[in-house]
Amino acid sequence: METVEQIRDRLLARFPGAAVTVVPNPGPAAQHSLLLGAERAREIAEFLRDDPVLQLDYCSNVTGVDWPGHLEVVYHLYSMARKHGPVILRLRTANRSDQVTLPSLTPVWRAAEFQEREVFDLFGVVFAGHPDLRRILMWDGFQDHPMRKDYVEPDDYEWEPTAHGDVLAKAKRHAAAAGSAPAAGEAGA
C-alpha cells in the first residue's frame, strides 16, 4: 500500500488546490492521517473508494474529537478488495460554535451513517447531505452535546430510580436547591 505521503501527493495532483495535509502521529503506531478541507472532501472520498490502486471500500470507524477551537471527525478506511489499510481521514469544523457543518461521507461509505449520527448527537457536528441526521443515543429534547469538553452535566437526577453514591448526592443537592426534598420513592428518599 502507498504511504500517506504518496496518497497525499496523488490527491493533490488529481485535485489541484484542494486542502490535503498529512497529520503526523508521533505515537508508537505512527498511523499518520490525512486532513482534508471540507470543500472537496466528498470528491476526494469518492476517489479513494474508486481508485483501482487504493479501493478504500470500507469505513470501519467514524468518531469525533473536541479540540480547542474546532471539532474534528476521524474516519478509518480499509480496502477489503486489496486487504490493506487503515487510511485515516480527518475533517475539521471552522469553529466550535456556529460553523460546525461538514459534508457527510455516508453517500460514499454507507457504514458511516450511524456513526456520523453519533458524532452529530454527542459532539454537535452537522453533516450536510446525511440521509437521516437525527439523534441516535440521546432523546430528541436533550440539550447540548455530552462529549464536548465544555459540556456541563445537569444535576437533576431525581428521575434516577435507584440513585446511590455520587448520583444520590447530586440528586439531594438538586432537591435542596429547588427547596423541596425528593418525594418517597424518588432519589434521596
Query: The whole model's pTM is what?
Result: 0.85
pLDDT value at residue 90: 98
What is the mean pLDDT of the segment spanning 61-77? 98
For the segment 26-38, what is each residue's pLDDT rounded down to a tens digit? 999 889 999 999 9
* pLDDT exceeds cutoff 50 at 184: no
| Better-scored residue on pLDDT, 62 or 172 | 62
Is pLDDT of 180 > 70?
no
pLDDT score at 178: 75
Cβ atoms 88, 75 nearer than 8 A: yes
d(CA 183, CA 180): 9
pLDDT at residue 172, as a whole number: 79
Asked if pLDDT for residue 42 goes beyond 60, the answer is yes
- 139: exposed, middle or buried (C-beta count within 10 Å: 0-12, 13-18, 19+)? exposed
So where are the chain's domains?
A: 4-138, 153-189
CATH code of domain 4-138: 3.30.460.80
Can you give the pLDDT at residue 67? 97
pLDDT for the residue 126: 98
Q: Which of 115-118's residues contact partners 24+ apart within 8 Å by CB, and which partners?
A: 115/59, 115/61, 115/62, 115/63, 116/62, 116/73, 118/62, 118/64
Tell me the per-residue pLDDT of 138-152, one tens digit each, with 9 for 90 and over: 988 888 999 999 998
Does residue 1 carry a pLDDT above 70?
yes
